[in-house]
Structure 1
Amino acid sequence: MAVLISLLLALSSVFFTGPAFAATYLEGLLPNGNFEESPKPTDLKKTVIKGKYSLPKWEINGSVEYIAGGPQPGGMYFAVAHGIHAVRLGNEASISQTIPVKPGSLYALTFGASRTCAQDEVLRVSVPPQTGDLPLQTLYDSFGGDVYAWGFRATSNEAKVTFHNPGVQEDPACGPLLDAVAIKELFPPMPTRDNLVKNSGFEEGPHLLINSSTGVLLPPKQEDLTSPLPGWIIESLKAVKFVDKKHFNVPFGLAAVELLAGRESAIAQVLRTVPNKLYNLTFSIGDGKNGCHGDMMIEAFAAKDSFKAPFKSRGKGEFKTVSFKFKAIAARTRLTFFSSFYHTRIDDFGSLCGPVLDQVRVLSIRKP
């Protein structure tokens, strides 16, 4: 009996398993998620992949190229930050893969994506019935190694993940470059008696690609039900960045959020509150020790109150904790944060950066 139990436990820890083990915690690259398993030479016409099933583990539609990073014909250069190979999606082209998931569970896809031409390029991500368009015209890192996360909630025990280029460019060779795709099951945190804020320290977030030192961009207009940052809404025009302790200075725990596009980079959460009751809001502001410097400020809004938390960054990974009081006016209070100013790194003026936000707490104030 003991041998049988050990065998079952070993099987349940396998990454992608059959339907009988669909409840296994899911995290890591999709099968051939880094595209290092190449098509057969006979299935390639120069760089264009011939055949719907010629890219191992993926299904392709339209003109999809198999690219090796580095200098390209015609004088272009493609940065492939997460390995050697990537795929480029031409006009109206797509790649897709079906994976096992748990119905009702929240997942985040993490993927390296960048534009390859000067035109506005869009990458459409879909897991039916959910779909989202990621504008790639803003380069957050000048070397083109941007990593994004996109959240979805599973509706059955299988999910068809599709990356699609919905655009039609004058140059058919243009199109988004995709160089790694991973997934992580997320566990939506709940408020506690000690804190009304869910995922207050941003500890629950998307998968971090192994050699990604630039953090993970959380794209704009993500609702809290499917956000890759559980509990939080990314309601701005530009992305915010999920940063980890390994590559950035994080005030508390293992992760935080960098507000890297000024007032265009905002996150929010709706709290359950009691009308006319006083609450205390505390949060930490600092720099990620990533070359971001200067006079920073995070603005916070709760009910009808607004607060400004200034911080002078010397780029050394310092932080401070601030505290404010606000009065709730309804049973739901929207708490919003954004950066007042725009910043770039001192060593790279093409890379956007900003203040790091961490450890957000809201507690009701008891009357004496």
Structure 2
Amino acid sequence: MDAMKMQKVMRVVLVLFLSTCHAAFSITDGLLPNGNFEVGPKKEQLKGSVVTAQNAIPNWSVTGYVEYIKSGQKQGDMVLVVPEGAYAIRLGNEASIKQNVKLTKGLHYAITFSAARTCAQEEKLNVSVVPTNEKRDWGQIPIQTMYGSNGWESFSCGFVADFQDAQIVIHNPGVEEDPACGPLIDSVALKVLNPPRRTRANLLKNGNFEEGPYVFPNASWGVLIPPHIEDAHSPLIGWIVESLKAVKYIDSEHYSVPEGKRAIELVAGKESAIAQVVMTTVGRTYDLTFAVGDASNACEGSMMVEAFAGRDTVQVPYQSKGKGGFIRGKLRFKAVSTRTRVRFLSTYYTMKNDNSGSLCGPVIDDVKLLSVRYPRRAGAA
């Protein structure tokens, strides 16, 4: 092949590559294309750190005041830290990042992304999955409460796909005096959720919490699942977060987990609760069993998990040394309705002993509900 033909072939390949930079991708479990923003704008598409072209960041489009931040970049006396990789995005006043994706109608999905505050104390982010070029209501995620020790958190929200061609949008609705003042966004991932079924071995769905949002393998702070008032379709499939604060989804790679690879940490006292509604037979006796422990994350002290089912409740105390371990809890109850709400919360507020001021709490896992055929007695056991 001569040099002229080779140049033509290379031009065709380059055009094809560039034409796919903002195409829709189908993701089932992992980072979105350039989801960690490590591939950035060209120099001529930046004014300082401000992104000046809508499609400057490969695979993403931006609107509003968006900055491309390098780890270690200074903002006054503050050093901006990027925990994964070398680059992140900062969303200033009314700024958004967007990416087109291919979805399968009817499937359950979870979005996971990492974020950190930089200026305002009450920063919020709006997350939406919308048909391409259409508008839809936002799901709002508050990011002001600290649960991690380094300022970064991962958040998740769930949805059911109503359409195939969609756009994931993360938007900062805040308006500050400094237009650059806004949250940092790092990794963004998508995961297909497989709805678990109730079985003879467990009347609860996803009682071991194994089915949940994507957890970044290099992030050691878990994933926050916002309250159901913030999220119509829980990414912790089968469960409702029915509280004012989030719960934390943790993995065995970074935490102590009683059973399997995933568990839930109740990080905000009675403001951090999960529940599930299950079909029951009036007058029949049931046993609710579960594990209570700590995540081995410097969360020490007296803890208490309260479990509720119908009109009955039990309190399970746990003395944490912050180094892992768990005990078993049990509640025996008689159903008074055909639909029984099973609910867990943490009695106390607990903070880590690492001087970070971050909230933590007891871990629950391996939750099972079974009918008792020949009960000796009803009530708490």
1:171-190 correspondence runs (5 A): 171-190=178-197
Aligned to 2:226: 219
Distance verdict in 2 for CA 1:164–1:224, change over 3 Å: closer
- Higher alpha-carbon deviation: 84-93 or 127-136: 127-136
- 2:129 corresponds to: 127
What secondary structure, in the 3-state scheme, does the structure 2 residue paired with 1:34 have? coil
Q: Find 2:28's aligned residue among 17, 26, 45.
A: 26
Q: 1:187 to 1:225 in 2, by over 3 A?
A: farther
Using the TM superposition, give the Cα deviation of residue 256 of structure 1 relative to its aligned residue in structure 2, in angstroms.
Answer: 0.5
**2:168 maps to which residue?**
161
Question: Do the aligned partners of 2:120 and 2:182 also contact (CA within 8 Å) in 1?
Answer: no
Q: Does 1:209 align with 2:216?
A: yes
Q: Is the 8 A contact 1:248 1:289 kept in 2?
A: yes
Aligned Cα RMSD in Å?
Answer: 1.9
**Alignment pair present for 1:276 and 2:283:** yes
1:98 aligns with 2:100: yes
Q: Does 1:299 align with 2:279?
A: no
Q: Report the equivalent of 1:83.
A: 85
Which residue is equivalent to 1:229? 236
Given the superposition, is the C-alpha separation of residues 41 and 186 from structure 1 closer, same or farther in structure 2, using an over 3 Å criterion?
same
Q: Distance in 1 between matches of 2:182 and 2:355?
A: 26
Q: Check conservation: 1:297, 1:309, Cα contact below 8 A.
A: yes
Counterpart amino acid of residue 78 in structure 2: M
What's 2:42 paired with? 40
Matched, 1:151 2:158: yes
Q: Deviations over 1:62-98 (max 9, x none)?
A: 1111111224131122221121111111111111011
Measured after TM superposition, the shift of residue 36 of structure 1 is 0.5
Q: In the TM superposition, what is the alpha-carbon distance from 1:347 to its structure 2 partner?
A: 2.2
Does residue 321 of the first structure (1) align with residue 328 of the second (2)? yes
| CA–CA separation in structure 1 for the residues paired with 2:148 and 2:326 | 23
Could you tell me how far apart the structure 1 residues matched to 2:232 and 2:53 are? 37
Q: Is the 8 A contact 1:296 1:310 kept in 2?
A: yes
Out of 53, 56, 80, the position equivalent to 1:54 is: 56
Please list every run of at least 4 consecutive aligned residues from structure 1 whose deviation after the TM superposition is greater than 4 angstroms.
222-225
Structure 1 residues 164-203: Cα deviation after superposition (integer angstroms, max 9, x where no partner): 0112112212111101101111101011112111000001
Match of 1:55, SS state, is coil
- Give the conservation status (yes or no) of the 8 Å contact 1:222–1:233: no
8 Å Cα contact 2:313/2:331 also seen in 1: no
Instruction: With the length of structure 2 as denominator, give the TM-score of the two structures.
Output: 0.88
Q: Could you tell me how far 1:151 is from its partner in structure 2? A: 0.8
CA contact (8 A) 2:112 2:189 kept: yes
Residues 96-151 of structure 1: per-residue CA shift (max 9 Å, x gap): 01111110101111110111113311100001356310111112113112111111
Q: Which residue of 1 aligns with 2:177?
A: 170
List per-residue Cα deviations over 1:227-280 (Å, max 9, x = no partner).
111101111111111111111111111110000111111111111111222111
Deviations 1:257-312 (A, max 9, x none): 00011111111111111122211110000011111111110011111112111011
- Asked whether 1:287 is paired with 2:289, we answer no
- Where structure 1 has 5 or more consecutive residues not aligned to the other structure, the ranges are 1-15
Question: Which region of structure 1 is more displaced relative to structure 2, 239-248 or 224-233?
Answer: 224-233
Match of 1:355 among 345, 351, 362: 362
Within the alignment, does 1:192 sit opposite 2:194 as a pair?
Answer: no
Any gaps of 5 or more consecutive residues in structure 2? 1-20, 131-135, 376-381
Q: Distance in 2 between matches of 1:182 and 1:274?
A: 41
- TM-score w.r.t. the length of structure 1 is 0.91
Alignment partner, residue 72 of structure 2? 70
Rounded to whole Å, the distance in 2 between the matches of 1:339 and 1:175 is: 32
**Alignment pair present for 1:258 and 2:272:** no
Structure-1 residue corresponding to 2:7 = none
Letter in 2 for 1:357: I
Larger-gyration structure (1/2)? 2
